Structure 1
Amino acid sequence: MQPKNARLYYKKMSQVNQEFAQRIKAIRDASTLEVPDNFIDTINRWTLESVSVMALDRQLGLLKESNKRIEATKLFHLLEDFFKVLAYIDEAVERLEKEAKEGVVRPENEQSVLEKLLKVDKKVATIMAMDMLMAGVDTTSSTFTGVILCLAKNPEKQAILREEVMKILPTRTRISRRNP
């Protein structure tokens, strides 16, 4: 994703990332600060939450223990279950179509991928959302795992990356001024 497009999802992704960080704090060993051997499960949950926010404009509640939805947990464990994925897409399509009939119009930069594609072709929109949910989780989790491993082994590079990201992303002050 290009940086200019990443900014469009900043607020929603920030919420997912904060929940991810809280989850890490909750599951890591208090003395060593190491995460458990099954940490890839948490990474996959973070990835599905992230993809869902972009594809469906909705969090599934997979990172908060107290907020896990049964359907989302099934989706997580049975990602290949085609019909569950279609149910989320159909639900999002129905919600977006209902909002359109009610005259709800979001600025272009606040629309999900599904919402933008629905204007072009409903079948393409559905297939694209399904593809993002199915293929996006595995590839993103694998890539993210490699990146955080490299950053953990190279704290000096981590500091450089943080500095670069802080230059690009909006600050809390700028966000709160734009969205009272």
Structure 2
Amino acid sequence: MLAEQDLRTLQDAGINNIETLASAAAAFLRAHPIYTVPLMPNALSEQEETFLRQGGAIGVGGANKDAASANVTIIAGEYAQMVATAHSQQEVAARLSVSTSRIRQRLDSGSLYAIDGPSGRVCPQFQFADGSTLPGLESVLEVISREAHPVAVQRFFLTVSPDLESDTLGRALSPRDWLLTGHSPESVKLLAREL
């Protein structure tokens, strides 16, 4: 059972149905059984392992199942959160004032980003602002590999990049904020090619 504080945190993030979150996480794990990949051992010498253990390091030597489990939990949780807060095709159509068939066309052409949820393809929130998509979104999506992991794509758009230093604002921006503030998508496209 989740603590009341955890439930409030999820509700603040727009997740009102825990079953949807768990279902999306389970669907992700079925589609991407990353927990079945053999664990890689630490690539340290015996002396390095001994030195680190003496210093209090945890998880040194051999495969660390706890760390691997924690990583799977984090990635599945992020994916589930993306699905639980994403917009349905009908919601996107209403938001962009177009038909659902136009949304399907954009999804098929790759000019909108979609992920698979328990109820079909949904569109993560990071690509929208007000009543439209991010300026330059289509050109950025064109260069992102279709093989890129959905969590990596969301993190890419939302994480501040030192390569996107805005002279106007005097600070580094995330790709999403870079596009929202009217900067050229070309810089974001260069970074997106690496995904």
| TM-score w.r.t. length of structure 1 | 0.27
Larger helix fraction of residues: 1
Greater CA radius of gyration, 1 or 2?
2
Higher relative contact order structure (alpha carbons within 8 Å, sequence separation ≥ 6) = 1
TM-score by length of 2: 0.26
| Structure showing the higher strand proportion among its residues | 2
